[in-house]
Amino acid sequence: MERFASWRRSRRFIGAKRVLHIAKRCFIQNNIVSKESPMKKIGREVAFLATGAQNPRNGEGSFLRLLDGRIMYAYTEYYGDSWEDHATARISAVFSPDEGESWSQPSVLIEKDADTVNIMSVSLFRMKNGDVGCLYLRKFASEGGILCVPYFTRSSDEGGTFGTPVRCIARDGYFVVNNDRLVRLKSGRLLFPTAYHGADLDHLTPGEIYVCYSDDDGASWNLSADAVRSPYEDNVRLQEPGLFALPDGRLWLYTRTAYGHQYQAFSTDDGLTFGRVTPAFRFSSPDAPMHVKTVGTLTLAIFNPIGYHPFEGKTELWGSPKRTPYVCAVSRDGGLSFVDGATTSANGGFQDFIASCYAFEDDTEESYCYPAIIEVEGGFLVAYYHSNGADTCLNCNRITKVLYREIN
């Protein structure tokens, strides 16, 4: 989600100043992701949720396989005149009966109540008792201003109806949670990361990260005591974090920054505490989120490498580098090759990583962001924002289907 005018201006300034020295080291050079690209392009469009009159934005969704075999894709549907983060929005859904080849017309899944500014940024999850779990952000007015707080609800009838939502964080504040972010650990713990940005919309602060977790399958939630903080003192810091459970027991935290790369930290106690925050140099990035998820035997990392465009003048409405192209890195060792691996003087440790990358989108005139992922028969689906010619990437929603045989 984009923040507000002052943050947009600050990102433009910080991005250019801080990423110059590391942009030159990016593994993706100017001609690697283009129409003449040696990077293989994968996937084909199976749905496009276009915007229109009184529907200015569709995106930030999550998939779930229903018990009858259909796939549900829930997403944030803005309705009214504005696409801004604090405009009117609800959770809607489309359904596929045939592994993503065709989709129903949209229908409302969860409507916002009268006291809510909007609800958005959904994560779907199959609960231990078979319920459909649904995490989303609720923005609402308080005496101090607009708050943003995650809520969790569940459905016992496959999304037909949802119960009374549970507030995940008792503390008031502005807590950002991305879509498709719920993670289950081997211990049974359910968790998601959140970036705290201050008391309310009118008193925003640079981001610091907490982990929200449940040990009773979503009935109640706790917030980690210690914040994960940026190593730098600037006015953006850490934003839009994600979590991924590595096969060696570590919990990998990755986070959007304005420093030219994703940054990362690791936990060995199921997300209660994390070590030092450092650059994830494989994942060059403008101020855009990354998403990591396992499908079948593959672990995918979807991100926007910055090597093609950071100083070419292609910017979003708010002045930051375009979130383009859109790349999928593939790991066959449960994600360990994303975070570990020896470097050499010959290639810096990146050559094997480059060879594992594929392009979803190579039209660098467009922008792409906020993906969701699910496995289907013979492959996987990825849904994400597509700018569709607009000055902002927060516009339409494309669903792409990739077959495993497309990946070498």
Rounded-to-integer distance, Cα 304 and Cα 369, Å? 8
Looking at the structure of the chain, the number of domains it has is: 1
Tokens found for residue 132: 């459909």
Residue 6 confidence (pLDDT): 37
Residue range of the domain that includes 74: 5-406
The CB density around residue 208, as the number of other CB atoms within 10 Å, is 19
Q: What is the predicted pLDDT for the residue at 5?
A: 38
pLDDT bin (cut points 50, 70, 90) of residue 145 is confident
Backbone angles phi, psi at 52, to 5 degrees: -170, -165
From CA 312, how far away is CA 18, in angstroms rounded?
A: 16
Interval 269-296: pLDDT, tens? 999 999 999 999 899 998 999 999 999 9
Instruction: Kindly list the distances between the CA atom of residue 45 and the CA atoms of 40, 198, 260, 335, 403, in Å, as whole numbers in the listed order.
Output: 16, 39, 29, 26, 12
d(CA 180, CA 321): 24
Burial class of residue 303 in the structure, from the number of CB atoms within 10 Å of its CB (0-12 exposed, 13-18 middle, 19+ buried):
buried
pTM above the 0.85 mark? yes
Q: Which domain CATH number covers 204?
A: 2.120.10.10
Q: Which of 232-236, 317-321, 328-332 has the highest mean pLDDT?
A: 328-332
Q: Which residue has the higher pLDDT, 169 or 199?
A: 169
What is the chain's Cα-based Rg? 20
Provide the 10 A C-beta neighbour count for residue 222: 15
Report the SS3 class of residue 146: strand
If you average pLDDT over every residue of the chain, what do you get?
89
Output the CA–CA distances (angstroms, integers) from residue 78 to 52, 59, 206, 369, in the order listed: 10, 9, 26, 17
Does position 26 have pLDDT exceeding 50, yes or no? no
Q: How many CB atoms lie within 10 A of CB 394?
A: 26
Tokens 């923040």: give the residue.
Answer: 3
Q: What is the pLDDT of residues 54-111, one digit of tens each?
A: 999 999 999 999 999 999 999 999 999 999 999 999 999 999 999 999 999 999 999 9
For residues 363-377, give the mean pLDDT: 96
Amino acid 314: pLDDT: 73
Percentage of the chain exceeding pLDDT 90 = 76
Torsion angle of C-alpha atoms 137, 141, 145, 150, degrees rounded to 10:
-20
Contact status, residue 138 vs residue 119, Cβ threshold 8 Å: yes
* CA dist., res. 4 & res. 204, Å (int): 9
Alpha-carbon span 115 to 20, nearest angstrom: 45
Q: What percent of the chain has pLDDT over 70?
A: 87
The three-point CA angle 394-399-401 to 5° equals 145
pLDDT, position 12: 36
Minimum mean pLDDT among 12-21, 187-196, 277-286: which range?
Answer: 12-21
pLDDT of 348: 57
Contact (Cβ atoms closer than 8 angstroms) between residue 251 and residue 185: yes
Are 134 and 160 in contact, with CB atoms under 8 Å apart? Answer: no
**Confidence grade of residue 311 (pLDDT, cut at 50, 70, 90):** low
pLDDT tens for each residue of 44-56: 999 999 999 999 9
C-beta separation of 394 from 77 below 8 A: no
C-alpha span between 291 and 180 (Å, rounded): 9
Q: What pLDDT does 349 receive?
A: 60
What is the per-residue pLDDT for 84?
92
In the numeric block, the tokens 């009268």 are attached to 114
Residue 298 tokens, joined? 């593959």
pLDDT value, residue 306: 81
Q: What is the mean pLDDT of residues 132-152?
A: 94
Residue 202's pLDDT band, with cuts at 50, 70 and 90, is: confident
Q: What pLDDT does residue 24 have?
A: 40
State how far the Cα of 78 lies from the Cα of 252, in Å rounded to an integer.
Answer: 32
Q: Name which residue leads in pLDDT, 10 or 305.
A: 305
pLDDT band at 3 (very low <50, low <70, confident <90, very high): very low
Determine the average pLDDT of the residues in 25-49: 70
